[in-house]
């Protein structure tokens, strides 16, 4: 057992983090609110050039063949700068779903074509799931992967009707999508379709969990710096224990959410449709940390944190949105207790990291 | 202890309900349930007109003495008025600050001249007020204010220079009460004055501040030799802190009764939505709805206990716990509202950035734990003032 990341993984995170910090500033995010597409194309090109789009595509298909564990720290880093574009969703959720379809020998000629387009960096795919009422940045997608019943459909944008919605988070560009479910676009159906949707939910929840942890870290940094600068009663407000404790409580929850997310990333990488338990744990821990971070950090900013001008709102509003997307805390804790209270639940100390092989053997023998 | 209303009280209730039923209609239909916290920027003109209608019916400033156009209403009657007002969907009161803060403060500390000049327009729904305490460098540490007032030796007129910030609704108000330093060598809570200042004058500039709700309910207010007549300082120069603190006492008193009624309508709305969208079947939501109800009833009983037998609107010591209690309760209610809405909580119905009622509620509750003394400051007060615990070391206030 080894819970640590490899030096390669850490180095790559460092490189991407520093690129994100220079390229994705609060000002550049506000600039996106004003521009037509909400996309910073130069940034997206840079991310593509660094190989992000091909990371989780197998080598046999022309990608880098890495796993969710390799990407999870980068997802966190994207959250930390509150990146508006759905890069994490696209790399960690949509593309792996397309690959799954091919792997299982499902789909049609379009699937391969779309994956090639993603590798080349000139095709963007948006993905829908019944748990989310809307799709973020759907207006800039060329293709859509959408569910209807157990079926999953891959549609060109011409076959999809979008209706714009407004989010509380000005960085999010939400649309509801509708389409006519025609066999021509069907890429998975029946049990295979249902399994795919289940895997997608787990990947999605993991993607938002990782970003929530990043967002919380971003808010923590802003709070530490604001409370060190702002003075009341002749000293920094951060000198007061009441203020310190608010911030420290967030740090504790964030740190404790991390290993849970890393563990879930591992399971999602190995078997996404059987990762419910690990992912639900990760999403509820991260959602809780994200909501606490927005609440406490906003509190330590005083009235300043309540203004449009204060950048904290960019992070706090995203955390509010992501804490709900892909299932809120209630949804995920329900999944956990359903799992725990099943008749044949595998409970006991030996199951901490999956199947306790000894017990299985004993039972079998 | 007697926990019942008298027959006379019940008759009063009927009178209030009838009047509201007859008046909160026609041109006022659209403003029912509007203009509450987070929605204060809406229907301003209509709500000002509504204040005048209330005044015609003698329903503004009902706690004031009859000599000043009030009804000298008992605490019980004020409770009843607020209950019925909320039940009828009465809009957020534009006259709130004048009615519950400026008025009682002038009645307690003001001169006869000030009462005669300022009380009738408030009572008649003609003059609206705002509160100029906070400054960029003086938030929690209110005694750090630097806005200064200098008196002309001959005319006696005051000239005020400085900046206030977070001044709610200043842009819709006629007057602001300003806490300013009259003695340039003074520090902390010494040497302050409490001034009644007209906003419509060349020396005053008001700049709205956009809030994260996308609306602007509070403002920066700049004073650049703004004038204030010699008669318009409340109390003596140097008494400002005493007056300002007296006013804060009123802020925590009777004026909170209406707020609780608003909370009740919010909770009712959340329950209604939970039943309609199926969230009420979720066991966790059911628990939290029950907890919200319990919390609100507890709040109400404690307020009644606080106010019982204090017809002057002054408060018992229990009042110190109130701000912390309601702000925390309300913050949790905002979270419950969002959880009841579920995935739709994020979506804004209209195309522009205009939040719906529950979204505004959620965002606004984030400010509840800040204005009027943050939760941290409230806890310090409870521990240090009410319980007498050792004081936390403070820096050298500037
Ligand atoms: C919506 C809204 C409306 C408002 N309306 C008005 C108005 O109409 N008129 C007006 O005058 N003001 C108004 N205010 C201002 C309000 O009174 C101040 O925001 C409040 O007093 C806190 O001051 P601050 O924002 O400067 O925060 P700060 O004082 O800078 O506090 C920042 C953080 O530090 C903490 N802190 C500071 N000192 C201590 C300490 N000693 N111990 C422990 N913790 C500490 C605080 O709790 C807070 O979490 C309004 C504010 C809001 C949000």
B141/B145 Cα distance (integer angstroms): 8
Mutate to test the interface with B, among A33, A166, A247 (most CBs of B within 10 A): A166
Mean pLDDT calculated for residue range A260-286: 93
Task: Centre a 10 Å sphere on the Cβ of residue A1 and count the other Cβ atoms it contains.
Answer: 4
The pLDDT of residue A363: 46
Residue A334 forms part of a structural domain: yes
CATH classification at residue A355: 1.20.140.10
CA of A258 to the centre of ligand 1 (A): 33
Residue A253 forms part of a structural domain: yes
A274/A111 Cα distance (integer angstroms): 24
**H or E segment to which residue A145 belongs:** strand A143-148
CA of A230 to the centre of ligand 1 (A): 12
Range of the domain at A289: 205-364
3-state secondary structure at position B392: coil
Residue A138 forms part of a structural domain: no
The pLDDT of residue A1: 66
Residue A159 forms part of a structural domain: no
The pLDDT of residue A354: 55
The pLDDT of residue B351: 63
Output the six-digit token pair for B240.
């400002």
A299/A192 Cα distance (integer angstroms): 47
Angle at A105 between CA A153 and CA A89, to 5 degrees: 50
A285/A256 Cα distance (integer angstroms): 8
- Contact list in A for residue B382 (CB cut-off 8 A) is none
The pLDDT of residue B313: 55
The pLDDT of residue A349: 66
Residues near ligand 1 with C-beta < 6 Å? A 230, 232-233, 237, 240, 242-243, 299-300, 302-303, 306; B 130-134, 139-140, 166-168, 218, 367, 370-372, 374, 376-377, 380
Mean pLDDT calculated for residue range A267-287: 93
With the CA atoms of B211, B208, B266 and A315 taken in that order, what torsion angle do they form, in degrees rounded to the nearest 10? 0
DSSP B121-182: HHHTT---EEEE--BTTBSS-GGG---EEEE-TTT--EEEEEEEEEEETGGG-SEEEEEEES
| C-alpha distance from A259 to closest chain B C-alpha (Å) | 27
Residue A86 forms part of a structural domain: no
Mean pLDDT calculated for residue range A183-199: 95
Angle at A179 between CA A174 and CA A181, to 5 degrees: 140
Close Cβ partners of A59 (under 8 Å, ≥ 6 residues apart): A65
The pLDDT of residue B155: 95
The pLDDT of residue B144: 97
- Arithmetic mean of pLDDT over chain A: 93
3-state secondary structure at position A284: helix
DSSP A248-267: HHHHHHHHHHHHHHHHHHHH
Closest CA to B82 of B7, B163, B12: B12
Output the six-digit token pair for A325.
């997307």
Per-residue model confidence as pLDDT tens for chain B (398 residues): 777 889 999 999 999 999 999 999 999 999 998 888 778 888 999 999 999 999 999 999 999 999 999 999 988 899 899 989 988 999 999 999 999 999 999 999 999 999 999 999 999 999 999 999 999 999 999 999 999 999 999 999 999 999 999 999 999 999 999 999 999 999 999 999 999 999 999 999 999 999 998 889 999 999 999 999 999 999 999 999 999 999 988 877 776 777 888 899 899 999 999 999 999 999 889 999 999 999 999 998 888 888 776 655 555 566 778 899 999 999 999 999 999 998 888 888 766 777 777 888 888 899 999 998 999 999 999 999 889 999 987 766 54
Asked if A52 and A90 touch (Cβ cutoff 8 Å), the reply is: no
Close Cβ partners of B80 (under 8 Å, ≥ 6 residues apart): B5, B9, B12, B13, B16
- Contact list in B for residue A167 (CB cut-off 8 A) is 346-348
The pLDDT of residue B252: 72
Total domain count, chain A:
1
Partner-chain residue, chosen from A166, A234, A328, that has the shortest CB–CB distance to B351: A166
pLDDT at A356 over 60: no
Residue A39 forms part of a structural domain: no
According to DSSP, the residues that pair with A277 across neighbouring strands are none
Mean pLDDT calculated for residue range A199-226: 98
- pLDDT tier at A359, thresholds 50, 70, 90: very low
Backbone CA torsion sign across B118, B120, B123, B124: negative
Q: What domains, with CATH codes, occur in chain B?
A: 7-94 (1.10.540), 129-239 (2.40.110.10), 252-386 (1.20.140.10)
B128/B49 Cα distance (integer angstroms): 12
A184/B111 Cα distance (integer angstroms): 84
Partner-chain residue, chosen from B339, B342, B395, that has the shortest CB–CB distance to A234: B395
- Contact list in A for residue B369 (CB cut-off 8 A) is 299
Pairing of strands A173-179, A135-136: antiparallel
Percent of chain A with pLDDT over 70: 94
Mean pLDDT calculated for residue range A342-354: 68
CA of A156 to the centre of ligand 1 (A): 52
Residue A272 forms part of a structural domain: yes
ipTM over 0.85: yes
Q: How many alpha carbons fall within 13 Å on the CB side of residue A289?
A: 31
3-state secondary structure at position A225: helix
pLDDT at A361 over 70: no
Residue A209 forms part of a structural domain: yes
């Amino acid at each position: 057992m080894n819970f640590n990341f490899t030096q390669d993984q850490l180095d790559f995170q460092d490189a991407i983090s520093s690129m994100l910090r220079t390229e994705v500033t609060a000002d550049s995010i506000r600039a996106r609110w004003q521009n037509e597409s909400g996309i910073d194309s130069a940034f997206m090109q840079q991310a593509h050039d660094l190989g992000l789009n091909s990371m989780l595509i197998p080598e046999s298909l022309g990608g880098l063949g890495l796993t969710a564990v390799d990407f999870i720290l980068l997802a966190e880093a994207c959250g930390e700068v509150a990146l508006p574009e759905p890069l994490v969703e696209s790399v960690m959720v949509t593309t792996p779903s397309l690959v799954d379809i091919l792997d299982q020998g499902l789909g049609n000629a379009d699937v391969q074509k779309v994956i090639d387009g993603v590798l080349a960096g000139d095709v963007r795919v948006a993905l829908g799931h019944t748990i989310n009422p809307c799709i973020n940045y759907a207006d800039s997608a060329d293709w859509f992967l959408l569910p209807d019943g157990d079926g999953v459909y891959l549609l060109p944008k011409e076959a999809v009707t979008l209706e714009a919605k407004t989010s509380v988070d000005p960085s999010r560009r939400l649309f509801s999508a509708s389409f006519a479910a025609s066999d021509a676009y069907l890429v998975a159906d029946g049990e295979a379709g249902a399994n795919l949707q289940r895997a997608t939910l787990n990947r999605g929840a993991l993607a938002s969990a990782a970003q929530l942890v990043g967002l919380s870290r971003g808010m923590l940094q802003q709070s530490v710096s604001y409370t060190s600068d702002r003075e009341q009663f002749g000293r920094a407000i951060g000198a007061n224990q009441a203020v310190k404790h608010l911030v420290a409580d967030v740090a504790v929850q964030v740190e404790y959410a991390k290993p849970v997310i890393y563990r879930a990333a591992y399971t999602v990488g190995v078997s996404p449709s059987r990762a419910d338990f690990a992912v639900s744990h990760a999403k509820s821990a991260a959602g809780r940390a994200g909501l606490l971070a927005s609440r406490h950090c906003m509190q330590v900013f005083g009235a300043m944190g309540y203004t449009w001008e204060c950048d904290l709102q960019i992070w706090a509003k995203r955390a509010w949105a992501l804490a709900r997307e892909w299932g809120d805390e209630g949804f995920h804790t329900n999944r956990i207790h359903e799992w725990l209270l099943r008749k044949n639940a595998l409970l006991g100390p030996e199951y901490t990291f999956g199947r306790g092989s000894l017990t299985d053997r004993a039972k079998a023998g | 202890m007697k926990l019942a209303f008298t027959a006379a009280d019940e008759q009063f209730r009927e009178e209030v309900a009838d009047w509201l039923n007859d008046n909160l209609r026609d041109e006022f239909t659209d403003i029912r349930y509007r203009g509450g916290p987070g929605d204060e920027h809406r229907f301003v003109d209509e709500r000002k007109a509504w204040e005048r209608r209330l005044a015609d019916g003698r329903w503004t400033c009902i706690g004031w003495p009859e000599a000043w156009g009030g009804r000298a209403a008992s605490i019980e009657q004020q409770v009843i008025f607020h209950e019925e007002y909320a039940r009828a969907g009465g809009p957020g009161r534009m006259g709130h600050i004048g009615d519950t803060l400026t008025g009682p403060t002038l009645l307690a500390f003001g001169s006869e001249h000030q009462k005669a000049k300022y009380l009738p327009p408030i009572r008649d729904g003609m003059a609206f007020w705002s509160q100029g305490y906070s400054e960029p460098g003086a938030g929690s540490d209110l005694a750090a204010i630097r806005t200064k007032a200098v008196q002309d030796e001959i005319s006696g007129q005051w000239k005020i220079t400085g900046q206030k910030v977070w001044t709610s609704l200043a842009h819709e108000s006629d007057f602001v009460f300003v806490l300013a330093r009259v003695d340039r060598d003074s520090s902390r809570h010494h040497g302050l004055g409490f001034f009644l200042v007209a906003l419509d004058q060349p020396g005053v500039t008001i700049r709205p501040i956009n809030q994260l709700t996308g609306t602007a309910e509070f403002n920066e207010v700049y004073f650049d030799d703004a004038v204030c007549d010699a008669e318009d300082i409340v109390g003596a120069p140097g008494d400002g802190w005493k007056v300002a603190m007296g006013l804060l006492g009123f802020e925590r008193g009777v004026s909170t009764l209406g707020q609780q009624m608003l909370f009740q309508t919010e909770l009712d709305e959340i329950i209604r939505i939970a039943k309609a969208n199926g969230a009420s079947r979720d066991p966790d939501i059911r628990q939290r709805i029950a907890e919200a109800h319990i919390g609100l009833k507890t709040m109400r009983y404690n307020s009644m206990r606080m106010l019982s037998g204090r017809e002057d609107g002054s408060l018992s010591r229990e009042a110190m716990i109130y701000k912390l209690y309601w702000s925390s309760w309300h913050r949790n209610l905002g979270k419950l509202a969002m959880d009841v809405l579920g995935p739709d909580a994020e979506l804004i119905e209209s195309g522009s950035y205009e939040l719906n009622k529950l979204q505004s509620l959620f965002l606004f509750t984030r400010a509840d734990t800040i204005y009027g003394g943050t939760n941290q400051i409230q806890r310090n007060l409870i521990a240090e003032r009410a319980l007498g615990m050792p004081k936390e070391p403070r820096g050298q206030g500037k």
